[in-house]
């Protein structure tokens, strides 16, 4: 099986991943990511989830989600799937912002609940108000959607105000504005959304001339992606260890943050990896 036949599922990708570690700069970043991942997971060892405290339960779940997303982003980066790694990180940063909200605002769990209810009602109305969508659902599903709308409406009336949706820039502005401005915005414009940045990542140029498509794994801005992944996880670790008063963890986090600043933050010039994966289609 070759990359031309099986793409990123090809066994030939193993040589690509191995060759990344032969580039000194990449090796340092992957080692740092591995160490940071171990530290993050250690925080969950023998960790009791306080089932009576919804705020802390949500913090636990979002911290686990941040770990999953971090590991997914690193695995994608190891395969040269940097655009997909950025998309995963964009979602993870939103969760990290929520962790800061949960740490600092006792009402934030209520905002999450209200946001969920508003979304459920919106989807139910979307289906019920469109004959084509409604026709594809069973009578039981329609009944459940009608009940959802009625329940949310009743809950809203009890609040004597309109329910609130989550506005992430407002949450971040209050609790972690740098996380929003330096990661969330960047990953939105060059990761999640379909725009010229996203399109250009799959095009190959010689100077200003378009010569083909980038079909295979890419190492362009690999350091940048790994840097953002590690920043996201450190931003998530911070509120988690403070909410649960993890003894000694803050000092360890500070060591990782200092180590982060000492890593090479420039892309290595003329980095070479094994395998001729680029396929140009003009």
- What is the span of the domain harbouring residue 239? 31-188+220-262
| Domain contains 109 | yes
> CA-to-CA distance for 62 and 160, rounded, in angstroms?
30
For the stretch 223-234, pLDDT in tens is: 999 999 999 999
Check whether 277 has a pLDDT greater than 70: no
Planar angle of CA 252, 257, 258, nearest 5 degrees? 95
Q: How many whole angstroms separate alpha carbon 162 and alpha carbon 174?
A: 22
Which DSSP symbol is given to 191? I
Core vs surface per residue 38-62: b (16+ CB within 10 A) or e: ebbeebeeeeeeeeeeebbebbbeb
The answer to whether residues 53 and 244 touch, using CB atoms and an 8 Å cutoff, is no
For residue range 5-14, what is the model confidence (pLDDT) as tens digits?
888 998 888 9
Total domains, the chain? 1
On whether residue 239 sits in a domain, the answer given is yes
- Tell whether 274 is covered by a domain: no
Q: Is residue 272 part of a domain?
A: no
In whole angstroms, give the CA distance from residue 202 to residue 195: 12
Round to whole Å and give the CA distance between 119 and 72.
Answer: 27
Whether 148 maps to a domain, the answer reads: yes
**Residue 126 domain-assigned (yes or no):** yes
Task: Confirm whether 26 is domain-assigned.
Answer: no
- 86 is a domain residue: yes
209-248 per-position pLDDT tens digit: 888 888 889 898 999 999 999 999 999 999 999 999 999 9
Q: Residue 203: in which H helix or E strand, if any?
A: strand 203-206
């Amino acid at each position: 099986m070759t990359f031309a036949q099986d793409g990123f599922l090809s066994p030939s990708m193993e040589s690509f991943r191995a060759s990344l570690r032969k580039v000194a700069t990449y090796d340092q970043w992957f080692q740092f990511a591995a160490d940071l991942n171990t530290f993050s997971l250690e925080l969950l060892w023998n960790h009791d989830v306080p089932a009576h405290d919804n705020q802390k339960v949500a913090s636990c779940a979002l911290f686990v989600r941040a770990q999953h997303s971090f590991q997914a982003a690193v695995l994608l980066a190891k395969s040269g799937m940097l655009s997909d790694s950025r998309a995963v990180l964009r979602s993870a940063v939103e969760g990290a912002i929520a962790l800061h909200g949960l740490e600092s605002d006792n009402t934030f769990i209520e905002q999450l609940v209200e946001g969920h209810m508003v979304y459920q009602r919106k989807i139910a109305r979307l289906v019920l108000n469109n004959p084509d969508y409604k026709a594809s659902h069973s009578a039981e599903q329609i009944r459940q959607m009608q009940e959802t709308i009625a329940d949310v409406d009743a809950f809203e009336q009890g609040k004597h105000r309109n329910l609130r949706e989550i506005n992430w820039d407002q949450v971040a502005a209050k609790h972690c504005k740098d996380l929003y401005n330096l990661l969330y915005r960047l990953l939105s414009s060059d990761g999640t959304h379909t725009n010229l940045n996203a399109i250009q990542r799959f095009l190959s140029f010689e100077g200003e001339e378009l010569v083909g498509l980038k079909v295979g794994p890419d190492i362009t801005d690999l350091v940048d992606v790994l840097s953002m992944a590690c920043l996201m996880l450190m931003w998530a670790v911070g509120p988690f260890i403070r909410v649960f008063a993890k003894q000694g963890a803050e000092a360890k986090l500070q060591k990782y943050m200092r180590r982060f600043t000492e890593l090479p933050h420039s892309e290595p010039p003329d980095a070479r990896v094994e395998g001729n994966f680029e396929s140009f289609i003009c």
